[in-house]
Structure 1
Amino acid sequence: MIDWREIDTVLLDMDGTLLDLHFDSHFWLEHLPRRYVELHQLDQASQEALKSRIMGEQGTLNWYSLAYWSRELNVDIVALKREVQHLIGLRGDALDFLGWLKQAHPRVVLATNADRASLALKLPLTGLENYLDAIISSEDVGAAKEEQAFWFALQEREPFDPARTLFIDDNARVLESAREFGIKYLLGIKQPDSQRPEKELQEFVALDRFAQLLP
């Protein structure tokens, strides 16, 4: 599937690519709305309204910012995330793939929309840092991966040749943005959330397992 002789840099998404998206799906669409109405003593309609409000920010920096939601909802988002942190876990053979990459020696960069507060929660629980040469968050550069500004800022901070770069992400809009920037090798994820059905990415090849990439 990939001729590794053509790859110098591997850019990897975190949530839904290396990590099971189930934690985030459960937190944002179930746990947070439920705890929000409990903490503020609101009715069921408020819970549904919050879900709509959250989805309305999709693809923006606000969507990914724990500080934004803590401020907007007047709750401690990090503390609420810790209530369900046992759901944070790696996807399938992610560590095997990362271990192989470490031996194969391309530069491996985590390119994530997760903010630094999310990273501070998830990295110690997953051990991802041991396999990464660099970590770039959309919070660091002031633009989400859905925007071209992210890729220009990423290349400035972490120089890479788009023609010799592989990028893996579960989000079609992000993959489209990376393609617009000129990244040549693009792959999606077939089932980012282990508790939800597989996704159709249509324009991109979607991985079932990382083992498909190994020579």
Structure 2
Amino acid sequence: MKDSAVTTETTLAIDWSQIDTVLFDMDGTLLDLHFDNFFWLDHLPQRYAEIHRQDEAEVREKLAKKFAAKRGQLDWYCVDYWSRELALNIEALKHEIGDKIAFRPFATEFLLWLKHHDKRCYLATNAHRKSLELKLARTAMHDHFVAMISSHDYGYPKEHDGFWQALVQAHGMDLSRALFVDDSLDVLRAAKRNGVGHLLAIPNPDSRHPSRDTGEFIAIGDFRLLMQNG
């Protein structure tokens, strides 16, 4: 952890009287990022090589370059874009491993706690609507949210100021009284730049990987700690 991120999980305290709205990322925040990492880094290269009859090692190298070129852009998250680009049905391939979709520990308990405390919860994800629908079918997350927003609805990824401007215009929320939880530092920096008052970073988005440095943002790896005060 960098020196600037001095607040640790053992000292984490949230003044819930200053928060009306809670915004959640989906993949890596509420849901285990293992599904997505496994799909893009393992399942997709394997299936691409099988379908297109190419060497898997060469496919992995080619895909890595394609992904890097689109990182942080809306296309990077777009099922339709990658289906066209790779001549594959990405949506169908995701369904093949749908059993790997899972909540992160205590995510549902925290969502229920927030509802009990009359906080308005929104899902704000860069995931394409087709990916979102697959995960909703597996998790029934829709029960917990006022609205579920895909950045594709607005034409900007969450890393872009345009997303936050469109969010406020569409939902009329006061971002200064919102808590936003995400596993992407670039997204959190965009949220801060656009006036989100309270920010938390997920240090362990993929259960199979060790925790990461969350830079200048307070890390919250265990949602139970947020239910201890309020």
Same fold (TM over 0.5): yes
Q: Offset at 1:202?
A: 1.4
Q: Specify the alignment match of 1:202 in structure 2.
A: 215
Q: Specify the alignment match of 1:60 in structure 2.
A: 73
Q: Specify the alignment match of 2:53 in structure 1.
A: 41
Query: Of the candidates 6, 11, 14, which is equivalent to residue 23 of structure 2?
Result: 11
Query: Of the candidates 26, 34, 42, which is equivalent to residue 30 of structure 1?
Result: 42
Q: Specify the alignment match of 2:193 in structure 1.
A: 180
Q: Offset at 1:46?
A: 2.5
2:94 maps to a residue whose letter is K
**Over aligned residues, Cα RMSD in angstroms?**
0.9
* CA–CA distance in structure 2, aligned partners of residues 51 and 87 of structure 1: 22
* CA–CA distance in structure 2, aligned partners of residues 55 and 118 of structure 1: 20
> Gaps (5+ residues) in structure 2?
1-12
Query: Of the candidates 135, 142, 146, which is equivalent to residue 129 of structure 1?
Result: 142
1:17 maps to a residue whose letter is T
* CA–CA distance in structure 2, aligned partners of residues 46 and 103 of structure 1: 49
* CA–CA distance in structure 1, aligned partners of residues 50 and 77 of structure 2: 23
Partner secondary structure for residue 201 of structure 2: strand
Matches within 5 A, 1:80-159: 80-159=93-172
* CA–CA distance in structure 1, aligned partners of residues 209 and 65 of structure 2: 19
Partner secondary structure for residue 169 of structure 2: helix
* CA–CA distance in structure 2, aligned partners of residues 169 and 75 of structure 1: 29
1:59 maps to a residue whose letter is G
* CA–CA distance in structure 2, aligned partners of residues 55 and 197 of structure 1: 22
> Gaps (5+ residues) in structure 1?
none
Q: Provide TM-score, normalisation by structure 1.
A: 0.98
Partner secondary structure for residue 207 of structure 1: coil
Q: Provide TM-score, normalisation by structure 2.
A: 0.92
Q: Offset at 1:109?
A: 0.5
Q: Offset at 1:62?
A: 0.5
Per-residue CA deviation, residues 152-174 of structure 1 (Å, 9 max, x unaligned), is 00111111112111000000000
* CA–CA distance in structure 2, aligned partners of residues 76 and 211 of structure 1: 38
* CA–CA distance in structure 2, aligned partners of residues 9 and 46 of structure 1: 43
Per-residue CA deviation, residues 58-115 of structure 1 (Å, 9 max, x unaligned), is 1110110000000110100011111111110000000000011111111111011011
